Amino acid sequence: MTNTQYAAHTNSTRRRWLQALASTPLVPTLTAPALAEGATKTKAHIVIAGSGLGGIAVANRLSKLLDGAKITIIDRKEEHNYQPGYTLVASGVWPVSKVRDSNADFLPAGIEWVKDMVASFDPVANTVSTVGGQRIRYDFLVVGIGVYLDYTQITGMDVSAIGREGLTSVYPSPEAAQATWATMQAFAAKGGNAVMTLPSTPLKCAGAPLKMTFMLRDRLFKAGTLGISKIRFESALGNVFGVKAVNDNVLGRWRDLGIDVDFSRKLTAIDIGARRATFASPDGQTQEMPYDFIHVVPPTRAPDAVKNSELAWKDGPFATGGWLEVDKRTLQHRRFPNVFGIGDINGTPRGKTAATVKKSAPLVAHNLVEVIAGRVANENFDGYTSCPLITREGSAMLIEFDYEGNLTPTLPMIEPLQDSFFAWLMKVRMLKPAYISVLKGRV
């Protein structure tokens, strides 16, 4: 694709997608099962660990579904971050203010908010201990404490250095995303060698490393420095995305765009001052790679509170990361039936995205109410995950899939593997309002 074709691609279809947007209901993407008409009476004490999208969404739903229950949410974080927007901040599309809100604005009335962090779980004694020394007993527990970004697996990595010496990473915080954009701007102005990375662990928002790669290429193109630049994508896996159809599509696009990919090379060390990264292959060989710009994607695992508890998987593929042992269909703990998981902490084949919470939060709330009422969890989750995969400014692919990696498109006017202005518009304009509705338990 020539630069002229590349620049004109979005404009050729922009008018058609705006017309489609004006006439198309978003019911398939923005709705969820309706709330029960009659609330279940109970005196049960439900503890929700974590105040991210999953924890607050479940809290809001339970406050409507239950009459008389005590609901406690544990998390000291008062700022609520719209993490799906981090890549937009890091690539210069949004200001950082758009990903910052207050948790207090979203919590349901009457809830008990313990502003502390979970230190440990004791599911045998039905208790949670906090860093501040509180010991809180529960009848039912919802675990939604997210993931631990394990930058310590990369020797020499310093999160506080993001934004300096070409070092970027979109994952840790709004500040890191903002610093990443400043560094991307500086790099695009001069050009040079860029290295993008992907670890071998389960990943929070697996599309983010791909979005950052596409957008870096787009920024170089717009700055006029693409011709004096090189982008390499270093994957610690045998692919760049876990759904084969998407993986093959992205690799084909990158071949056309001149982005080189190496497989099975894990980032093990970084010398920030020297701007040099070290990668290891499965055979034990290492290679040092100089860079002018690097995007570091951290390995992830469960936080210690779950990883070191009886709630974690003890064997199988999810045991290494210490992920929460839930049934992938009901999201109920496999050994402790009064425990459920929501969001990134779950040890399931897929599902570390906000879209997964959008579909699974109503299910977790429903199944928990069923168990409180003495019945069995009877709704099943299909592993729905969605990734609005940005390919350049003004264009994206809306990728939706299930546990098995089957593409599950919900909007008939969108081809999952075809980028469009409409999918871009959804990502930039519509998905945060939908997120807020999920957060408030409205959809």
What is the set of active-site residues? 205, 387
210: Cα within 13 Å, side-chain hemisphere: 26
Residue in the structure block whose two tokens are 């599509």: 249
Round to whole Å and give the CA distance between 209 and 295.
8
Q: Give the sign of the dihedral formed by CA 365, CA 368, CA 373, CA 376.
A: positive
**Would strands 395-401 and 385-392 be described as parallel, antiparallel, or unpaired?**
antiparallel
Q: Give the sign of the dihedral formed by CA 205, CA 311, CA 403, CA 427.
A: negative
The SS3 call for residue 309 is coil
Are the C-beta atoms of 187 and 293 separated by less than 8 Å? Answer: yes
Core vs surface per residue 254-277: b (16+ CB within 10 A) or e: beebebebeeebbbebbebeebeb
- What are the residues whose beta carbons fall under 8 Å from the beta carbon of 216, sequence distance 6 or more? 91, 184, 187, 188, 194, 196, 231, 293, 295
* Alpha-carbon distance values, 219 to 16, 85, 228, 392, 400 (Å): 25, 18, 13, 9, 26
The SS3 call for residue 72 is strand
Q: Give the sign of the dihedral formed by CA 238, CA 404, CA 50, CA 206.
A: positive
Helical H segments across 91-207, by residue range? 174-190
